[in-house]
Amino acid sequence: MDTAQASAVSSKTISFRIWRQDDPNKPGHFEEFKVPYAKGANVISCLMEIQRNPVTVEGKKVAPVVWDSACLEEVCGSCAMNINGRVRMACSALVDKLQQPITLEPMKKFPVVRDLTVDRDRMFESLKRVKGWIPVDGTYNLGPGPRQSQKDHSVMYVLSTCITCGSCLEACPQVTLDNDFIGAAPISQARLFNMHPTGKLNAEERTRALMGPGGIQDCGKAQNCVKVCPKEIPLTTSIAVMNREVSKLIIKDIFFKEEEQKASAGPG
């Protein structure tokens, strides 16, 4: 790179429009910033630059922008936000591939805490609801577990890559701030743990958890979730699989109810 090219690159800037909101009870607004261009920069690195020098394009010194991030390699899921109107991970969003000014907003399906940070408790509570874990007694050696087929391994591995970022809930038209729909991620995790040899012991309990208010019946089949998933998890397939499991339980309940009614009626 010659001197002229180096000078052009050094004078190049990246423009941002960032949503600012001091707390959930105060109105928000946009502030504009410019940061020096760096080849290969992602949104997080630009936010770090703004944090070091939080001065707007008008020259006003403001409070540093607040956002969530941890791993910076699309593993923790914490930096999900709306970037140019689409939910995605800020750590893997490269500025060279984004139209400027780059608009950053918090996810709208979760309560705002401050600026770009949101409260994702609803998602974590939904994972508790479907018991998104394997209950194992770790006080002694349980020995080798049951063998699993390679086919099941392949499916479960993909499902296990969920990073609970909340992108699927953000993109879902059925999820709103004032309803209880659990969304695609917990449904897919219920499928994952129901496939596990030990998890199968609680499979019916997980499936029944999807039958209550805000459960799988609230899914509108929009399929937006699978389009925005950063790990390309087949969420719609998981929803279809768990829909079948729910249907089986409903039929089972109807059958047993009829048998109980016949038994209580007695002979004749």
Does 8 map to a domain?
no
Q: What percent of the chain has pLDDT over 70?
A: 92
pLDDT of residue 267: 64
Q: Which amino acid is at 171?
A: A
Q: Where are the alpha helices (DSSP H) in the chain?
A: 3-11, 43-52, 121-129, 150-160, 167-171, 184-195, 203-209, 224-228, 235-265
For residue 129, the domain's CATH number is 1.10.1060.10
Arithmetic mean of pLDDT, 159-177 = 97
Checking if the pLDDT of 5 tops 50, the result is: no
| Domain co-membership, 133 together with 147 | yes
How is 179-235 classified by DSSP, letter by letter? S----HHHHHHHHHHHHSTTGGGGHHHHHHHTSSTTSGGG-----HHHHH-TT---H
Count the alpha carbons within 13 Å of 223 in the hemisphere toward its beta carbon. Answer: 4
| Domain co-membership, 94 together with 163 | no
**224/7: higher pLDDT:** 224
pLDDT of residue 181: 97
What's the total number of domains in the chain?
2
For residue 37, the domain's CATH number is 3.10.20.30
Arithmetic mean of pLDDT, 218-224 = 96
User: What is the span of the domain harbouring residue 244?
Assistant: 121-264
pLDDT of residue 143: 83
Does 1 map to a domain?
no
Q: Which of 3-12, 62-71, 130-139, 252-261 has the highest mean pLDDT?
A: 62-71
Does 5 map to a domain?
no
Q: Report the candidate in 209, 219, 118, 223 with the shortest Cα–Cα distance to residue 171.
A: 223
Dihedrals phi, psi of 34, to nearest 5 degrees: -130, 135
Q: Report the candidate in 85, 92, 97, 238 with the shortest Cα–Cα distance to residue 165.
A: 92
pLDDT of residue 8: 45
Arithmetic mean of pLDDT, 94-107 = 97
pTM to 2 decimals? Answer: 0.88
* Mean pLDDT, rounded, of the chain: 92
Give the whole-angstrom CA distance, residue 216 versus residue 233: 17
